[in-house]
Structures are given as C-alpha cells and as structure tokens.
Structure 1
Amino acid sequence: MSTGRTNIPEEVIEAVLQQHDIVDTVGRHVHLTKQGKYMKGLCPFHSEKTPSFTVTPERQIFHCYGCGKGGNAIKFKMEIEGLSFPEAVRIMAEEAHIPYEDGARRFGDTPQSREMEQLLQAHEWSSKLYHFLLKNTEHGKPAMDYLKSRGFSDKAIDTFQIGFAPARWDTLVQFLEKRSFDLESMEKGGLLSPKQDGSGFVDRFRDRVIFPLHNRNGKVIAFAGRILGEGGPKYLNSPESKLFSKSRTLYNLHQAKTEIRKSRQIVLFEGYGDVISAWESGVHNGVATMGTALTEGHASMMRGLADEIIVCYDGDQAGQAAALKSIPILENVGFVIKVALLSEGMDPDEFIQKYGGERFKHQVLDGAVSSVKFRLIYLKKNHILLEEGGKVAYIKDAMGVIAPLPSPTEREIYLKELSADLQVSFDSLKQECNEFRMAMQKKEPLGDNNDKRWNNGRHKKGQTSMPALLPAYHVAERRLLSFMLQDEEVSRYVWERLGDEFNIEDHAAIAAYLYAYYAQGKPPDASRFISSLQDERLEQTLISIAMMDTPGEWTSLELDDCIREIRKVPLQNQIKSKKEEMVSAERAGDFLLAAQIASEIIALERQ
C-alpha cells in the first residue's frame, strides 16, 4: 500500500478496523447477497455480469476473482475513493469518532507530511486572498464585471470561492513571504514560478479570474486561472504536484459527493462554468475534469460513488467527439451511460443563461439518450442520407454499434428505430444484423469477454478450462499459512519445525511477518494482519491464501505432512544437482568419483 502507514499508531488502525465492519463498508457501494459463509456481489472496480466479488465476514476481507483486487475495509475505502492509506484511515477514524492524535504528535508527522500540511495551508490562504481581492478591491472590479456578465451570482462566487489574481508579479510572493512560507516549496507546489534569471520567484497567476480546485475532502490543492484580457493561454492550471494530479481530481466533487451518493447519479461536464451554472439551477451532482480528457482514474473514482452518469459536454463538434471518446472509458468500469444533447452547438452554461435552469434540467438532462443512441446520432451526421450510397454506408456503420449488443430486445428496439428513420424494411435490417453477428463470432478468440481483459479466458467457448495445477509443495505452503493465519498455536508449531524454510520467497516473508505479529501478543485476525504488511504483492498473495476454504480444526499429522512436502524440495534439488555431477564424472571417465556421488544420492533419497 501507500507509504506513510508506519507513522500511524497501530492502535488507531486496529480501532478503525474494529469499528468498520467489512460488510457495512462494502455494502454502501455493492449490493451483497449471502452465499454460505460468504457475501457476493458485482465488483465495483470492473464491469461484470456474474458476481465474482466476494466478502468474507468471518475474516473481514474482500477479494474479487475477476480483477484480483482484495484487502480489508481500509483497502476497500482506498480503492473505491482513490485515497492514500493515511487519508483513508483519517476519514474512517473521523466517521467512527476515533481520535487520531498520538499524544501531542499527530500521525504522519514526518518532514514530508509537514511539507504537505504547509502546502495545503498556503493554498487555503492563497484562495482566501484571491477571493478577497475579487470582492473588495478596485483591482478586482473588471473581473467581477466579467463574472456578472457571465451570469454568476454573488452566492455562486462565494460558494465556489472564485477569486482574482492582479496583474502584478509579486502579490502572492509577498503575501506568502510575510507568513514565513518557504518560497522554494511554494514553487514546487505550483503557487509560484521561478524568475528566468534564477534570482527568485514570481506569482504563477497574474491578471486572471481564479477558480480554486479542491480534493474530495474540500481542501484547496490547486487553481485554474482564466485570463481577463488578450493573450494566452486562455486557461492556466496549477502544474502537477504532490497535492494535485489532473487524472485523479474532479472539479466540485467535494461539494457534489453528498448528492451523488444520494442519487447514485453524476452529471459530467467539461468546464467549471458549466458546473457552477448547473449548481445554481439546482443540479448539485455535477463535476468536471480539470481541462483534460477523461481518464480511467476519473472513471474509477466516480464509479465508487454512482451507478449512472450523464455526459453533458459542449454541443459543438469537439464536445461531441470528446463525449464519444468518454463512452468506452465509462463502460469499462460498469456505468449506465446517458449523453445529453445540446442544440445549436451551445455549451451547458450558454444554454442555462439563454433558456434557464428548469428547461436545462427537463430538456437536456431528462432528455439525455443512451450511449448506443448517441453513437448512432453521431454516426448519422457523417453520412448524406438523401443519397443511396450514404444510406447504405450509414446502415453498415450502425450495424457496428447495434450488432454487438448482448440483448436481443435492445437490438430489436434500435433496428426498429433505424427502419422507421431510413424507411428500410425491418426484416432486411434484422437479417443484416444477424449476418454481422455471425461474422463477429467467427473472428472472436475463445474468451467470451474480449474487450474486458479482466474476464478473458474465464469462460471458454466449446471447452472447459482447468486451473493450472500447483506443485505439491506450493499447495502445502499455502495450506500451512492458511492454518497459521487462523491459529497462533499452529504458527508456533511451524516455527519450531520449519522456521523460514519455505521454498517460495513470498511465503517465507509472510511467515516471518506472522511470527513477528504473534510475538507481539496479537490475536489471529486476517484483516488486522494485512494492515501490518508493507508490500502490495505480499498483500495480494495473503488475501488469496486467506480466502482458501481451510477447516478451522487441524491435526499435527496434517501439519507434519505439509512440512514434510515442503522439506522435500531442497533435497530434490540437491539430488537433481548430484545426478548432473555424476553424469559429468562418468563422461570424464572418473568412475570412482561417480560411484562416490551415487552413494550420496542414495543417502539423500533415503532422507
């Protein structure tokens, strides 16, 4: 997992895990059904139709057999909300009213965390300064006039902390210097820029309307500045920094997440102005990407909060092309997708200013179409349908969208619409669709989910797939570790007879961690033990072992069998090596040495 966990007191981590039951934590995002001693549901981290996401209440862990993600309640929180380990623990501690102070020392109190705190504080104060300059100075008047002309109310300006950076070179430099901030750190954090001659620093943002950018917890982590006069670039964002990553940040998520969780729906915009105008119209589940294309990181983060998304991009060609590109990214994480259609090439902000918020909600958002319908509308614009050739070409392109749909009912609905739209017989379209599907199936490799890497090969057509058989010693090591995870006495028994002599390096490392864990007087607890590991790969190996259906009861005979199987391996390797030595001796004509080696092999085989 992320670094920084070692600075969090163990008692805080343990208290968080005790207070956050895995079923409750996961159940906020996944519909779980009981199957024996497990709970199962559809994985929130990838798209699937057959549940492979499994929660084990008894061991307080989750594991997805489709994509491989797994861990305890803290790990789930990290994955679903895109948090670091300290952030997840802090939020979960606050939710459960667990104090996360260690005496006078706060967890994560390291030079790195202190630098982060300084940057966060500097961004918060800079945001307040810019907001003050916009609202209370002559410098800010042209910016305020511009915002008013765009239809921004005083309430919106306050809600979104919009500000203004004057044209001067050192407004923020002086402000931060007076408050004893390290200017070099402020430059690394994106607030300042170095002078060209290297003699100091200047303000990064000058003569711009400032939009603060927040993380999901509401802390200011960056800024976007829109230029007021001529020149470029029109928009300037803070650079990527320790605080700010474009591909993991969404504008307004900190304010929208309450409504998003409630409605399980997100409205995705392209620009800050769109989000703000929509918010004033009562659309409080809107977010936007940070002047960058939608990424898988954005999609995963949003999928953890909602099931449905309305893509509401600009109505011009560029906006619609961007909406088209976003569809497969959103489909891959399992969203139900709708796309809003804006007339006259308007952007959402312009539509709201011209027609009002109510019409925007009812006409644009309520009238959003399915992703399939949007693809068909988009394709249609590329063909001249008055010509026969254009009509035939459009039908061919449309089949590429309709034919792959898994539902026969859904295919029929779109084919009927196509038939009515083009005045072509439904039967001929249906026949063409069936031919297209047959051609697709011939081209497909055996895996049934070829566009979804996570599920490839799990269900083969025309054959049964058998899992690869592990060597006997590998199975024995996993079984032994599974018993050790459940019972301290087993761990002590194995330590005395085997120690760290596991053949697989990761298994030896897990055993060493387990011995140390029990030596501290801690009880058997898979979830708690996972949090003590410092390695992502070991965690995944351990989760796989913890999910094994090993009986709670054990016998020394069974443990001895496993230990014997494990101990065989080095002897077998020695025998193999000795046999190679014997063959070499025989080839060299040294029969005395060969006979000596043969007796050593016999002794090893007896062992």
Structure 2
Amino acid sequence: MASGHGSIPEEVIESVLARHDIVETVGKVVHLTKRGKYLWGLCPFHSESTPSFTVTPDRGVFHCFGCGMGGNAIKFRMEIEGLSFPEAVRIMADESDIAVPDGPSGGHAAPDPERDRLLQAYDLSAKFYHFLLKNTEYGKEAMAYLRSRNFSDKMIDQFQIGFAPDRWDTLQQFLEKRSFDLAEMERGGLLSARSEGRGYVDRFRGRIIFPIANRTGKTVAFAARILGEGQPKYLNSPESRLFNKSRLLYNLHQARASIRKTRQIVLFEGYGDVISAWEAGVHNGVATMGTSLTEGHAALMKTLADEVVVAYDGDKAGQAAAMKSIPMLENVGLRVKIAVLPSGLDPDEFIGRYGGERFMDQVIHAAVSTVKFKLIYLKKGHILLEEDGKIAYVKEALEIIAALPSSTEREVYLKEIATELNLSYESLKQDCNLLRASLQKNIPEGDNNDKRWNNGRHKKEQVQKRALLPAYHAAERSLLAVMFQDADAAAYVNERLGDAFNIEDHAALAAYLYAYYAQGKQPDLSRFLSSLQDDKLEKTAASIAMMESPPAWNPQVLDDCIREVRKYPVQRQMEQKREEMIRAERAGDFLRAAQIASEIIALERQ
C-alpha cells in the first residue's frame, strides 16, 4: 500500500512524529522489555511466543525480525488501526491538538484514484440503499420488519440502514449510470461477476443493508441480512483494499468519542446488538464483522481503551466465544469484564424484552471479572447436586483460583465456593495452596513473570537467528545504515557509487536519501520514513536501521563496502562468461572458448 501524504504539510507530519514518541505509541499495544539499546516485545502483527519485535527509541522506529513489519510511529498506527497515511496523521494530530489545514498544500501527494473511486461508490451506494428503504415501495416490507425489531426512525437514519431490492441489476445500473468501472466495483466487493463470466450483477439482493465504516467514518463495506427466509442469513462484503475484517470494528467511528472519555469499550457480536445498545445508552459499543475476535482487533482496542466489557450472546456459542476472547484481550494488556445475559438471549433481544435501562443496570454495569465468569461457565458443565459433579467442579475451579497472584482475590473466590457448596473454607484453601505450590515449580524461565501474557521465555543470551547475507548485500546494508545517520557519509557514497546498488530496494532508498538531504534536512530516520512512498521500502529501511553501525563514519570502511558493491556485477559477469566458455568447449568451438577466456582474464584484472 503506497502511503502518500495527500494534502498534509511536511511541518504537520514532523510535529506529529515529535509529539508521538515511538516507545509510548507502541507501548500502548505491546509490553516492551529493554535489552541493550533496543526494546523487545511480542509482535502484534503475527503470532509468536518468543519476541522478535523491536523498537529503537533513538531512531524512532520499530521492526519485527519475524514478519518484517517496520516503520515509524505513524506507520505503526496505520497498520494497527487499518488507516491510510493521511487518516493516521490527522487522527494523531487531533490527539495532540495539532491543527491540520484543509485543502491542498506542500505535502507529497501519492494519489490512489481507484481507492478514491471505491470510497465514492460505497458512499453513494449507502445513500442509495438508504433512500430505497425509506422512500420506495421496495423498502416498505423491510421498514416494517425493522420497526417490529424496535429500530426507531432516528436509529435507521443515524446508522444509515438501507435495503437492496430482490433484483439482479438495481445497484449495477445505478453505478453504471454514474460512469463507475464495473470491473473495479466487483474488485471492491459492490458487485459480483456473472457465473458465465459475462457482465456483473448486484451482490446484495433482497437484504437489509448495514453500512460498515472505517474509523474515520467512510463507508468501506456492507453487512446484509436477508429479509424473510433464505441462506445465507447474513452476508458481508468480501475483503478488499478498503475492508479488512480482522482489523475493523463496526461503529468505531461513532463510538470513538465515548471510548476516549471512558477508556472503555463494550464489545458485541453483531451490528444489531450495537444499534439496539446505542439507543439504550451504550455509546461505546463496537462489534467484529463476519469474523471471530482476532489479535488485530485486540491490538486496535488497546490503542483506544484500558478496559473491554464483552457482551456476547447468552447461548452456549456466545459464552464459548466470550471465553475464547479473554486470553486474546488480556494478552494485549486490557482489563476484561464479561456481561452475563440470561441463557439464550442476545443483547438485542434483552433490550427488546426488558428495556434499555434494565440492560444498562443488570448487564453492562453488572459485568463480572473474568475469573468470576470462568467459574460461572465451569459450573454450567457440572451437576452440582451430585457428589461427582461437585468434586469435578471444585477441582477445575481451584486450578483457576490457584493461578491468581493476589491472595485477597483467592480468598474471596474460595469463600464464595465454600458458602455456595457448603464446604470447608480451610480445606479448600489447603488444596488451593498445594496446587499453587505445584504451579510455581512449573513456571518456565522468562523475562516478564508479572505479565505472563507477554513473556518471551528467552534465555539471557538467546538471540534471533538471521540468515547469512552475501557480501555485496551486507555491504549495501552497511552503507545505507551509515547514510541514514550522516548526511556527509551519504554525500561521500553518492559521489563514488550513486544509485549503483545491486538490490533494487537499496538503490531506491539511496535515491530517496540523496533527495532528502538535498532539501537541507538533517538525519532523522523516522522523518525520512515518512517521505517514502512505498510500504516495502519502509520495511527495508526499518530493518537496516536495526544494524549496529559505528557512531562516526570512516572513509576506509565505506570504500571497502563500495568496492564490494561494485565487485558483484563483475563477478556475475565472470560467472556468465565461464558458463558461456564451457558451452563453447562442449560445442567444439575452441576459438570462441579462447576468446571468452581472455575476456574473463580482463574482468579478473578489473
């Protein structure tokens, strides 16, 4: 994904980077442990048990040796929250009270016309579906259904709910009349290709449409519920360059203000629950879209809040999903509470049956700790009136309680079980202490025992294994590492090597760096990364920045590296000549073989 500056001035970008320290920005999501000049943690962009994610405070960059992700504070927010470069800068500027002027300015624009057209198409399509729901015969049945589900006109308007008629070409004609490229619309998830391969049809037909917005409020996808019977009951837009369901939360754009104020998120399973809860007064509610909770969702929530209340359905599937969500949310350092609903009811149904006030009091405000929820969940799997069931429940409950670090917490839960099951508190405590002693023995050696969720479990001297690079490749990286830190070193390399790097990305980075210094800018890797227009180059630059390089550059060291870089194409040429000579000898063309041999000797002298 190219990351252009759009209409944002350079000075705004520099102010954003100055106000958003890389350690503080990353530290809201990743627990970092200092080792030498780097800070290490578990990468939020891929699953790992041993830290390979690093932050270099003095250079203002992060880099993961595992998945290769890297960049500055702006890039981190872009990737965690699924934002474009301008969106990330504007949000970060707003958080630091930095004014961002409207309209064109001196920022380096990297236009993305297809993305802009898709955003425009989604915006017009959402308004079109909303109009069809409220103002046409097509929408009457859908409006009646929504009102029967207690959706008020105000909520229908606020969430821009719409309706797609049960026809093949309603949206297709609407978009075609407005000169949108239908193939582009199909790639963006608005239309489907005909099965026989000729033309396009509406993706959504006979369905109530719920627009899905990104965190800046732009519609990027649709969720659709069938009206009446049929399969699938729910249908979402496919993933596209606008829509990544593993990084997007429904209603986040409207919930942001309340989340920022309360530092709390209420997490629902579906958009219907979010809308009903909004009307009941829950204005910090969001939901995942067409997928279970992911590490990306958890990391995104950690950037916005300190606590999450999980309000999933009260049936078995909902409660099992709530159990699964606990470690994922706790793993990023969020406090977690679980809203317990009566069996079988979802939040939307509870509100419809008992009203919003009771939902707030008895469900949201009465949310229980994760330990309490685990005990409630365990209890449902045992018949406590039978001795075997009671013993099995206590055994499993003690395993949960024994793992708690707080003796006060352990005492509270043990007393509750003792009272509830008419058991001796002292015997429960004794069993719990024995189990706890056994658990302590088995704790693996680690670097972060107070926060087990981010324990690297690495030995003191364990280092990340890295592939041995060819000499010329290592030399190019060494040159760039020094050039990032010193403008004079970059000028020295420019004069003697220019952009004659063998690896394309290195040549591009060198060219960008020469241009950066030519503008009179000082070495600053974080700011240089923001001047790049290419995601791959940012990752490469962040990776090179992790290299150890001398504090002051040495012409002799640079000359050695330049020589190694220049030598490689000659070596490649010699290899090709040798292969050509062997082919000539095999063909019996000894005169040609002798000519090639003399060319090889000339190259060796060179």
Shorter-chain TM-score category? 0.7 to 0.9
Q: Deviations over 1:437-473 (max 9, x none)?
A: 3433444443356996853234x5xxx54768999x9
Out of 4, 12, 18, the residue aligned to residue 14 of structure 2 is: 18
Equivalent pair of 1:215/1:249 in contact (CA under 8 Å): yes
Give the Cα separation in 1 of the matches to 2:400 and 2:373. 10
Q: Which moved more, 1:475-484 or 1:335-344?
A: 475-484
**Other structure's SS at 1:18 match:** helix
Deviation of the 1:67 alpha carbon: 11
Provide the residue aligned with 2:428 in structure 1: 429
Do residues 538 (structure 1) and 534 (structure 2) align?
no
Equivalent pair of 1:100/1:106 in contact (CA under 8 Å): no
Provide the residue aligned with 1:160 in structure 2: 159
Matches within 5 A, 1:209-288: 209-288=208-287
Equivalent pair of 1:189/1:243 in contact (CA under 8 Å): yes
Give the Cα separation in 2 of the matches to 1:524 and 1:153. 57
Deviation of the 1:495 alpha carbon: 7.0
Provide the residue aligned with 1:586 in structure 2: none
Equivalent pair of 1:314/1:347 in contact (CA under 8 Å): yes
Structure 2: any 5+ residue segments left out of the alignment?
568-606
Deviation of the 1:504 alpha carbon: 12
Relative to 1, partners in 2 of residues 1:501 and 1:251: Cα closer, same or farther, differing over 3 Å?
closer
Give the Cα separation in 1 of the matches to 2:305 and 2:67. 20
Relative to 1, partners in 2 of residues 1:12 and 1:123: Cα closer, same or farther, differing over 3 Å?
closer
Ranked by relative contact order (alpha carbons within 8 Å, sequence separation 6 or more), the top structure is 2
Provide the residue aligned with 1:326 in structure 2: 325
Structure 1: any 5+ residue segments left out of the alignment?
572-607
Do residues 174 (structure 1) and 173 (structure 2) align?
yes
Provide the residue aligned with 2:576 in structure 1: none
**Other structure's SS at 1:535 match:** helix
Relative to 1, partners in 2 of residues 1:399 and 1:64: Cα closer, same or farther, differing over 3 Å?
farther
Equivalent pair of 2:80/2:296 in contact (CA under 8 Å): no
Provide the residue aligned with 2:583 in structure 1: none
Equivalent pair of 1:246/1:292 in contact (CA under 8 Å): yes
Q: Deviations over 1:254-312 (max 9, x none)?
A: 11112112211100011211111111112110011113211111111111111100000
Provide the residue aligned with 2:202 in structure 1: 203
Equivalent pair of 2:476/2:565 in contact (CA under 8 Å): no
> Alpha carbon RMSD of aligned pairs, Å?
4.5
Relative to 1, partners in 2 of residues 1:563 and 1:452: Cα closer, same or farther, differing over 3 Å?
farther
Give the Cα separation in 2 of the matches to 1:455 and 1:569. 41
Give the Cα separation in 2 of the matches to 1:97 and 1:363. 43
Relative to 1, partners in 2 of residues 1:166 and 1:413: Cα closer, same or farther, differing over 3 Å?
same
Provide the residue aligned with 1:579 in structure 2: none
Equivalent pair of 1:16/1:98 in contact (CA under 8 Å): no
Matches within 5 A, 1:161-560: 161-447=160-446, 455-458=455-458, 465=461, 485-492=484-491, 514=513, 517-519=516-518, 521-531=520-530, 532=532, 534-545=536-547
Give the Cα separation in 2 of the matches to 1:117 and 1:496. 41
Provide the residue aligned with 1:584 in structure 2: none
**Other structure's SS at 1:140 match:** helix
TM-score (norm: length of structure 2):
0.76
Counterpart of 1:73, as a letter, is A
Provide the residue aligned with 2:100 in structure 1: 97
Equivalent pair of 1:22/1:61 in contact (CA under 8 Å): no
Counterpart of 1:282, as a letter, is G
Give the Cα separation in 1 of the matches to 2:442 and 2:251. 44
Give the Cα separation in 2 of the matches to 1:158 and 1:275. 15
Aligned length: 547
TM-score (norm: length of structure 1):
0.76
**Other structure's SS at 1:427 match:** helix
Give the Cα separation in 1 of the matches to 2:499 and 2:169. 61
**Other structure's SS at 2:110 match:** coil
Give the Cα separation in 2 of the matches to 1:346 and 1:307. 27
Percent of paired sites with the same residue: 59
Relative to 1, partners in 2 of residues 1:435 and 1:149: Cα closer, same or farther, differing over 3 Å?
same
Give the Cα separation in 1 of the matches to 2:89 and 2:253. 18
Provide the residue aligned with 1:81 in structure 2: 81
Give the Cα separation in 2 of the matches to 1:512 and 1:223. 42
Give the Cα separation in 2 of the matches to 1:402 and 1:502. 60
Equivalent pair of 1:166/1:207 in contact (CA under 8 Å): yes
Give the Cα separation in 1 of the matches to 2:207 and 2:346. 22
